[in-house]
Amino acid sequence: MFSSIVDQNLTPEKLANLKYYKYNAVDKSLLSRYLLRHYWDWASDFFPKSMAPNLITLTGFMFILFNVALAWYLAPTLDIDEDPPRWIYLSYAAGIWLYSTFDNVDGRQARRTNSSSPLGELFDHGCDALNTIFSSVIQAGALGSGHSRATVLLCLIEAFGFYLSTQEEYHTGVLYLGYVNAPTEGIVLALVVFTISGIFGPAIWRTPVGHIIPYLPPPIASMSFSHGWIALVGSFLVTTHVPLCFYAMYKACRKQGKPFLSTVTAECVPIAVYCSAVYAWCMSPHSFILSHHYLVPYFVAIGIVFGRMASKIILAHLTRSAFPKFTILLVPLVLGAVVVNLPNIPGIPELLTPQFELTYIYCLLIFATVVYLRWAVAVINAFCSYLGIRCFTITTKKPQSKAN
C-alpha cells in the first residue's frame, strides 16, 4: 500500500526535477574551517574508493543506534541513581564523534568518486533527522536528567531546531550552518559532556552552577549544570536559530512572491502538532511514561515519527514539490496524547494502566518503523531507478540517467 502511495506521489514530472539538483551548503563555523575540515580530509583517506557514500552514512548512523541500544539495556532510567558503568558514557563520546566523522566524510567520498546525487542528500539528512531525537536519549543519560520535564524539553528543542533548518533549506535551497551550529560546535560540546560523565560520572552535572561560577543571579546560581545545559540550548534556539531561520525564509518568500506569514505558519503546523502531542502525553498526570521509565522506547518511537516528517521535507525540496503538511505517523502519536488526557470518559480510567501504555508505545514503535522503512525503501528504489544508480554500491559506469 505504502509503495503504491509513494509511486503516485513521485510522478515522472516530480522525478524530472532531480535534474536541477545541486548541493548548496554554507558552513560559517570557524571550528570547521580552521580545524575540523583538515581532520575530515585526513579521515576520508581511510575509506576505500569502492565504498559508497550512502554506506558510509549508514555505518556512521549505526554508532548512534548502538549507543541508544546500550542506554536502553544498561541505563534505561537515564538517571544518576541507576549508576551504570562509566564506560558507557565514553562509548557515547566515541559514538557521537564517529557519527560526525562519517557524516562529514560521506560528502567527500561522493565528490572524489564522482557519485554525488540527490539520493545522497536525502539519505544523509534522513539519518540526521532520526539522530535528532535518538541522540536526546544518550544526552539525557550523560547529563543524568532522567525521566523529567527537562529531558522532554531537550528532545523537543532539538526537534524544533532541526525542523526549522530543514524548512529553511526547502525555501532557500541552501543548507546554512552558522558560526555556532549543532552539527559542529554542538557535537563537540556533546563530546565534552560525554567524556566528563565517563570520567567523573553524570552526578557531576547535578552540581549547582553557583558552586562553580560566582556572582550569578540566584535563579541561575541554584540551577544544576544539567538544567543549565538544557536552558543554554533552548536560549540559543530562541535568540539566534529561530530568528535567523525565519529571516532567511522571509527573504526567500519575498523573492518568490509568496506570502511569508501564511506560508510559514501553515508549514509549522506539523511540528507544532508533534511537539504539543509529545509534551501533552509525557506531562499528563495520567501518563506513566515518566514515573515508570518508558522514555527510551517512547523517544525511539517518536524519533522515527520525526524522521519521517523531516525526510518528507527534504524529498519535497529535491523534487520541487509542495511542502508536506501531514504524515500518517502523527495520528497514533496524537491519539496517545489525547487518550491519556481524557481520564473522565467512561472506560478510560480502567484502560489507563502502565502495561497498557507501554504496549501502546511499543505498537507505535512497530507501526512507525514499518511505515517508515516501507516508505524509505520505496523512495530509494524510485530514485535509483530514475537516476540509474545504486544506493549502497558505486557503479564503475553509470547508466544514462533520465535526468540528463
Query: Tell me: the pLDDT tens digits for 70-126?
Result: 999 999 999 877 778 999 999 999 999 999 999 999 999 999 999 999 999 999 999
Helix (H, G, I), strand (E, B) or coil at 133: helix
349 inside domain: yes
Instruction: Write the pLDDT tens digit of every residue in 9-67.
Output: 788 999 999 988 888 999 999 999 999 999 999 999 999 999 999 999 999 999 999 99
Buried-state track 335-347, b at ≥16 Cβ within 10 A, e below 16: ebbebbeeeeeee
pLDDT tens track for 369-392: 999 999 999 999 999 999 999 999
Q: How confident is the model at residue 6 (pLDDT cuts 50, 70, 90)?
A: low
The verdict on residue 396 lying in a domain is no
Q: Which domain holds residue 317?
A: 2-387
Instruction: For residue 118, tell me if it sits in a domain.
Output: yes
Q: What is the 3-state secondary structure (H, E, C) of 327-375?
A: CCCHHHHHHHHHHCCCCCCCCHHHHCCHHHHHHHHHHHHHHHHHHHHHH
| 308 within 8 A of 133, measured Cβ to Cβ | no
Q: How far apart are the C-alpha atoms of 208 and 97, rounded to whole Å?
A: 28
- Scan for cell 540527490, then name that residue: 118
Distances (CA, A) of 335 to 289, 310, 330, 332: 15, 21, 8, 5
The answer to the question of residue 392 being in a domain is no
Q: Are 347 and 308 in contact (CB under 8 A)?
A: no
Residue 36 resides in a domain: yes
Question: CA 180, 181, 183, 185 torsion: positive or negative?
Answer: positive
Answer yes or no: is 52 within a domain. yes
Instruction: Identify the active-site residue in 38, 125, 147, 227.
Output: 125
Alpha carbon separation from 243 to 40, 154, 258 (Å, rounded): 30, 19, 19
Residue 247's CATH number: 1.20.120.1760
- Report percent pLDDT > 70 for the chain: 96
pTM (2 decimals)?
0.93
Task: Indicate if 293 belongs to the active site.
Answer: no
Closest CA to 186 of 117, 136, 244, 259: 136
Cα Rg, the chain, nearest whole Å: 22
Question: Does residue 403 belong to any structural domain of this protein?
Answer: no
Q: Please report the pLDDT score of residue 350 as a whole number.
A: 75
Structural domain total, the chain? 1
